[in-house]
Amino acid sequence: MSGEFLITKRILLTREGQPALRRILVFTHTGRKEAIAAAIETCGLLHAAGVRPVMRKKDHEAIQTASTGLRLQIDILGQDCTIEQVDLGVVLGGDGSVLRAAELVRDASLPLVGVNLGHVGFLAEAERSELADTVHALVIGAYTVEERMAIEVQVWRDNVCLAETWALNEAAVEKANRERMIEVVIEVDGRPISTFGCDGVVMATPTGSTAYAFSAGGPVVWPEVAALIMVPISAHALFAKPLVVSPDSIMAVEILTRSEAGAVLWCDGRRTIDLPPGARIEVTRSDKPVLLARLNTTPFSERLVNKFELPIQGWRGPADEDERRPATTALPVIGPGFQSVEPHHKDEPGIPLVARDEMK
């Protein structure tokens, strides 16, 4: 279940104590020279450790074109092996690259580990400078696997399902035209919450809370929290606050028909469909999570500080248990036998405070 963690150790050894032959799928952004260089280095490190690197055909062709002297044996996914025969996926790039890889491996329940080559890289587990150590940890199986909640998304109109898909980060309903806002009704568990004009509405997972939803003013939700998030974008309303609801709730956005403004649905910034007036978008928790490999146990709060470079000067931290001292004063709890003081009215400063005995 999402919000809970599936912790495993994958250590595959031969009788001689050496790593058994494994296959690790390498994803890379072939449009960037830095990503291609990282992929070549990763494949070399895996090959030297006795692990067979696997790549998609188009990625392999890009690598061969960029490095004519590369003589490593690399399996081609779909030709030399199936995705079910792969143990792990390594993604070289930013969060967008991780989302692209998740599309391919989700049905196979293949864990992914991201090596950040982008900017923030919240979904990445390691940085480019840590590539060699990362590959070594993966080879010896020194990682755990964490479940991340995904969402199922359906688009309805006139009781007909126009489309269905899923998302790891968010499903975002956005206005199609810059000059015209859309009018929507937001809903939770079959009950309307509010109606307003806006630029859109983001429905996100805890993983996606630090992505589009965060940029729209939504809360940061720790990944292990089981919840769904709804965040209006530039809403023209007094009550258009971000909502955090039960993971078992059904969130919905209806596009009103009283204006002709069109909308667009984006899922993880990858899959899209045009939304006509009258369309209804429903989001529920998916039964199939995305698996992310973790190399360390760094708390999410520390990752948050590092990724956003948050100022933490002045923090002293909690004292050690053996250095803690008992409270110097115990504050009384007001109850029977205690007296409370009624404050005087702010416009009558000359009236003294009067004690009232609550036992009377």
- Euclidean distance between CA atoms 87 and 85, whole angstroms: 7
Which tokens hold the place of 260? 């002709």
- Euclidean distance between CA atoms 112 and 100, whole angstroms: 11
Residue 11 has pLDDT above 50, yes or no: no
Q: What is the structure's pLDDT at 349?
A: 59
> Per the annotation, does 80 bind a ligand?
no
- For 170-200, the pLDDT digits (tens) are 999 999 988 899 999 999 999 999 999 999 9
Q: Where in the chain is the domain with CATH 3.40.50.10330?
A: 23-139
> Per the annotation, does 171 bind a ligand?
no
**Residue 325: which pLDDT band, with cuts at 50, 70 and 90?**
confident
> Per the annotation, does 143 bind a ligand?
no
Superfamily of domain 151-285, CATH level 4: Probable inorganic polyphosphate/atp-NAD kinase; domain 2 (2.60.200.30)
- For 244-296, the pLDDT digits (tens) are 999 999 999 999 988 888 899 999 999 999 999 999 999 999 999 999 999 88
> Per the annotation, does 95 bind a ligand?
yes
Residue 297 has pLDDT above 60, yes or no: yes
Residue 256 CB-half CA count within 13 A: 16
* Beta carbons within 8 Å of 262's beta carbon, 6+ residues apart: 175, 176, 177, 182, 274, 275, 276, 277
Give the C-alpha distances (Å, rounded to integers) separating 69 from 29, 129, 261: 20, 24, 55
Q: Residue 315: how many CB atoms within 10 A of its CB?
A: 7
Q: Structure pTM?
A: 0.83
21 vs 305: which has the higher pLDDT: 305
Residue 23 CB-half CA count within 13 A: 17
Which tokens hold the place of 71? 């003589």
Residue 73 has pLDDT above 90, yes or no: no
> Per the annotation, does 28 bind a ligand?
no
Q: Which of 59, 75, 95, 268 is catalytic?
A: 95
Q: Where in the chain is the domain with CATH 2.60.200.30?
A: 151-285
Cβ atoms of residues 268 and 86 within 8 Å: no
- For 33-67, the pLDDT digits (tens) are 888 889 999 999 998 998 999 999 998 888 888 77
**Residue 204: which pLDDT band, with cuts at 50, 70 and 90?**
very high
> Per the annotation, does 218 bind a ligand?
no
- For 124-140, the pLDDT digits (tens) are 888 899 999 999 999 99
Return the CATH architecture of domain 23-139: 3-Layer(aba) Sandwich (3.40)
* Beta carbons within 8 Å of 352's beta carbon, 6+ residues apart: 344
357 is catalytic: no
